[in-house]
Chain A
Amino acid sequence: MLELKNIAKVAGAETHIHPTNLVLERGSLNVLLGPTLSGKTSLMRLMAGLDKPTSGSVWFDGKDVTGVRVQDRGVAMVYQQFINYPALTVYENIASPMRIKGADSATIDREVRKAADLLKLTPYLDRTPLNLSGGQQQRTALARAIVKNASLVLLDEPLANLDYKLREELRLELPKIFAASGAIFVYATTEPSEALLLGGNTATLSEGRITQFGRTIDVYRRPNDLLTARTFADPPLNTMQVLKNGGHFEIGGKPVLPVPAHLAALPDGPCTIAFHPHHLALASQHPASANLQARTAISEIAGSESFIHIEFEGSRWVMLSPGIHDIEPDAVITVHVDTRHLMAFGTDGRAIAEPAAAAA
C-alpha cells in the first residue's frame, strides 16, 4: 500500500504539487489523468523517490520511505520515450534488473521467457532494440519493468509515442499483465479515453492538485466538480451558464431547458449545467430529451459517427451523433439534449446534483 501524506512540492516560486493525500492499494491500477503540466510527472517522481517532497511524507506498507533512495525502493518506471540498452539484446535488456540483483541464471532465464511470452517478444529475444519497431521497443521496456518484480510500477504516458492501433492492442493487454503481477501500477495519461479503456481507479489532476480519486467509471459519471468533469471529457464537455427558475433553466429570462426529475431538488439560482457530446443528438433519443435551436459551425465525420460543432447562446458545443451528417456551417438546426444525463454545478464549481441515470 502506497500512501502520500500531505505531500507537496514547491520549486522556487512555482508550486508543482499542492498538498496531496492519496492511498493506492496493492494490486491496483491507478490512472493519473490530466493535461500536460498538470503535475502527473511531478507526482510520479515523488512516489518513486526521484524528488524529495517539500513537505509531507511517502509511506509504503506502513513504513515511512520519504528519505529512502530510489535504488532501495523497489520501483520500476517506464517512460514515453523507449528507453532500452541499445547494445544489449532484447533478452539481456529484460534480464538486466535481475542481473543487477544477482539472480542465478536459471531463474533469470525462466523469468525472462515468461515476461517475453506475456508481451509477445519471444521471436525477438536475440535482436537488439534498434532493430525493433516502436511497439516492440516499448514492450521490451515494459517487460523489464515486470521482471524487476517491483512493488510500485510507474508508467509515464507509455503509449504516447506509439501508433494508434499498437496503442489499442497494448492497452488491451496491459490490464491483464497488471492483474498478474500484484504490484501497484500508476499510469499517467492525457487522454480520457485511455483512462476509460484501462479501467481501474483514476485520479484527475489539474494544476498540481488531485481534483478527484475513485473508480474510473465513477469519476467519469459522477464528477465532484466542474474541473474534474472537464478534465475527464473527450470530446470536450458541453456547458452553459443558466439560472434555475422553478421547472426551467433560463438564460436571459428565457427558458431554455426543462429541469429533469433528478435535478428537481436543486435550489433556484445561477448554476452551470453540463453534459457529454453523446448526450446531444440530431434525433430525439428518449422521451426525456429536450430540444434546442442551435447554429452549426463545422461538421467532422469520423466513419460511423459525426462530430458537429454548434453554438448555442454564446456557448460552443460538440455533438457526437451516430451516422454521417455533413451539415453546412451557419445553418440553424434542432438538437436534442438527453436531460437524464445533465450535470449541474454551483457557482463555486462543486457538483450540486448527480445525473439520475448514472446513479441507477
Chain B
Amino acid sequence: MNKTWNNKAWFMVLPVLLLVAFSAVIPLMTVVNYSVQDTFGNNQFFWNGVGWFSDVLESDRFWQALGRNLLFSGIILSIEIPLGILIALNMPKKGLGVPVCLVLMALPLLIPWNVVGTIWQVFGRVDIGLLGRTLHSLGINYNYVNNVFDAWMTLIIMDVWHWTSLVVLLCYAGLVSIPEAYYQAAKIDGASRWAVFRYIQLPKMKRVLLIAFLLRFMDSFMIYTEPFVVTGGGPGNSTTFLSIDLVKMAIGQFDLGPAAAMSIIYFLIILLLSWIFYTVMTSSDEQA
C-alpha cells in the first residue's frame, strides 16, 4: 500500500530523537569510554585497550552468570508462552466474563518489580510467610535462603505469576481478530480442536507471539530487581545473574572498567540473540 508523503513528519519525531539521545546514546558512550580506560582514582584515566574485555571473557564468573541467565530465560519462556496461549484460548470471547478476565489478567502487570520481589520474599519466608509456613506444615522442607533449588523455584514461579498475563493478553488480542467464519468453516470441514489451533489460531497469533517472545526474552534476560530483593543473588552465587554481578562489580567493588566492558558484552548478547530469534521467526513466516 502506498502512503501519503509528507516531510513535515520528521519534525514531529524530533523531540523523541533528542530525548533518546540524552537518555540512551550519551550514557552509552560514557560506558564505552570507561570500558577502554583504567583509573587509579583522582579522575585520572589511562588507555587500556581491549584489556577489560579479555579479562571479562576469560573469567569463569562471567560465563557462569551467563549460563544462569540463559537457563532462567529458557525455563520461563518454555512455561510462560505455552501457558499464556492455553489461558488465552480458554478465555471467554464475549459477555460479562471478558472484562472480568481482562482485569484479572492485567493485575499482576500493574505491580512494580520491587514490590513483586518484596511480596514473594515475604510470602515465601519460612517463619512468617503464608507460602513458606504452609509448605512447612505439609512437611516439605522449603527454604529459598539456603536451598539452591528452592531459590530458583521461587524466582521462576514469581516470574511466571508476574508475566504470563502479558503473553495471555497479546495472544487474546490475536485470537479475537479471527473472523467467526473461520471457525464455522473449520467445523464444516470437520477439523479437530487441534487442527483449528494449528491451522487457524496459531497462524493468526504468530505475529503477536513473536512480540511476546521477544519481550519476555529481553526482559527475563535482563532480570535484576526480583532476585536482588528475594535472594540477593544467593544462596552462594546460585542466583547471581549477569545484571546482579554487574551491579556488584560496578557499585560494590567500584571496578568501573571491567563493569563497563561487561555491560557492553551483555548488551551485545541481548542484541544478537534478539536479532537471531527475530530473523528465524520471521523467515519461517515467509516460507510457510
A-to-B contact residues, CB < 8 Å? 11, 42, 45, 50-52, 69-70
Measured between beta carbons, the chain A residues less than 8 angstroms from B4 are: 50-51, 70
Instruction: Indicate if the CB atoms of A45 and B2 lie closer than 8 Å.
Output: yes
Q: Report B1-33 residues with CB < 8 Å from chain A CB.
A: 2, 4-6
Chain B: CB-nearest residue to A11: B2
Known: A11-B2, A50-B4, A51-B2. 7 other contacts (CB 8 A): A42-B2, A45-B2, A50-B2, A51-B4, A52-B5, A69-B6, A70-B4
Measured between beta carbons, the chain B residues less than 8 angstroms from A45 are: 2
In the assembled complex, 10 residue pairs joining A and B whose CB atoms fall closer than 8 Å, in A order, are A11-B2, A42-B2, A45-B2, A50-B2, A50-B4, A51-B2, A51-B4, A52-B5, A69-B6, A70-B4
**In whole Å, how far is A40's beta carbon from the nearest beta carbon of chain B?**
14
Chain B: CB-nearest residue to A42: B2
Cα–Cα, bound, A325→B226 (Å)? 82
Measured between beta carbons, the chain A residues less than 8 angstroms from B6 are: 69
Chain A: CB-nearest residue to B8: A69
Chain B: CB-nearest residue to A52: B5
Chain B: CB-nearest residue to A69: B6
Measured between beta carbons, the chain B residues less than 8 angstroms from A11 are: 2
**In whole Å, how far is B15's beta carbon from the nearest beta carbon of chain A?**
23
Smallest CB-CB A-B distances: 5 pairs: A51-B2, A52-B5, A50-B4, A11-B2, A45-B2
What is the size category of the interface that chain B forms with chain A? Answer: under 10
Chain B: CB-nearest residue to A9: B2
B-to-A contact residues, CB < 8 Å? 2, 4-6
Measured between beta carbons, the chain A residues less than 8 angstroms from B5 are: 52
Task: From B2, B5, B6, name the one whose CB has the most chain A CB atoms within 10 angstroms.
Answer: B2
**In whole Å, how far is A36's beta carbon from the nearest beta carbon of chain B?**
15
Chain B: CB-nearest residue to A49: B4
Chain A: CB-nearest residue to B2: A51
Measured between beta carbons, the chain B residues less than 8 angstroms from A42 are: 2
**In whole Å, how far is A145's beta carbon from the nearest beta carbon of chain B?**
19
Cα–Cα, bound, A51→B4 (Å)? 6
Cα–Cα, bound, A69→B6 (Å)? 9
Cα–Cα, bound, A320→B6 (Å)? 52
Cα–Cα, bound, A200→B2 (Å)? 30
**In whole Å, how far is B11's beta carbon from the nearest beta carbon of chain A?**
15
Measured between beta carbons, the chain A residues less than 8 angstroms from B2 are: 11, 42, 45, 50-51
Chain B: CB-nearest residue to A50: B4
Cα–Cα, bound, A308→B5 (Å)? 51
**In whole Å, how far is B6's beta carbon from the nearest beta carbon of chain A?**
7
Cα–Cα, bound, A252→B89 (Å)? 65
Chain B: CB-nearest residue to A67: B5
Cα–Cα, bound, A50→B6 (Å)? 10
**In whole Å, how far is B10's beta carbon from the nearest beta carbon of chain A?**
16
Measured between beta carbons, the chain B residues less than 8 angstroms from A70 are: 4
**In whole Å, how far is A67's beta carbon from the nearest beta carbon of chain B?**
10
Measured between beta carbons, the chain B residues less than 8 angstroms from A52 are: 5
Cα–Cα, bound, A52→B6 (Å)? 10
Chain A: CB-nearest residue to B1: A11
Measured between beta carbons, the chain B residues less than 8 angstroms from A51 are: 2, 4
Cα–Cα, bound, A11→B1 (Å)? 9
Chain A: CB-nearest residue to B6: A69
Measured between beta carbons, the chain B residues less than 8 angstroms from A69 are: 6
Cα–Cα, bound, A70→B4 (Å)? 9
**In whole Å, how far is A58's beta carbon from the nearest beta carbon of chain B?**
14
Cα–Cα, bound, A11→B5 (Å)? 14
Measured between beta carbons, the chain B residues less than 8 angstroms from A50 are: 2, 4
**In whole Å, how far is A8's beta carbon from the nearest beta carbon of chain B?**
14
Cα–Cα, bound, A42→B4 (Å)? 13
Cα–Cα, bound, A131→B260 (Å)? 63
Cα–Cα, bound, A114→B6 (Å)? 36
**In whole Å, how far is A354's beta carbon from the nearest beta carbon of chain B?**
39
Cα–Cα, bound, A314→B6 (Å)? 55
Cα–Cα, bound, A211→B148 (Å)? 78
**In whole Å, how far is B282's beta carbon from the nearest beta carbon of chain A?**
19
**In whole Å, how far is B274's beta carbon from the nearest beta carbon of chain A?**
28
Cα–Cα, bound, A50→B5 (Å)? 8
Cα–Cα, bound, A42→B2 (Å)? 9
Cα–Cα, bound, A51→B5 (Å)? 7
Cα–Cα, bound, A69→B7 (Å)? 11
Cα–Cα, bound, A42→B5 (Å)? 15
**In whole Å, how far is A75's beta carbon from the nearest beta carbon of chain B?**
13
Cα–Cα, bound, A109→B132 (Å)? 73
Cα–Cα, bound, A45→B6 (Å)? 15
Cα–Cα, bound, A69→B4 (Å)? 9
**In whole Å, how far is A77's beta carbon from the nearest beta carbon of chain B?**
13
Chain B: CB-nearest residue to A16: B2
Chain A: CB-nearest residue to B5: A52
**In whole Å, how far is B144's beta carbon from the nearest beta carbon of chain A?**
54
Cα–Cα, bound, A280→B238 (Å)? 89
Chain B: CB-nearest residue to A51: B2
Cα–Cα, bound, A70→B5 (Å)? 10
**In whole Å, how far is A143's beta carbon from the nearest beta carbon of chain B?**
25
Cα–Cα, bound, A52→B5 (Å)? 7
**In whole Å, how far is B83's beta carbon from the nearest beta carbon of chain A?**
37
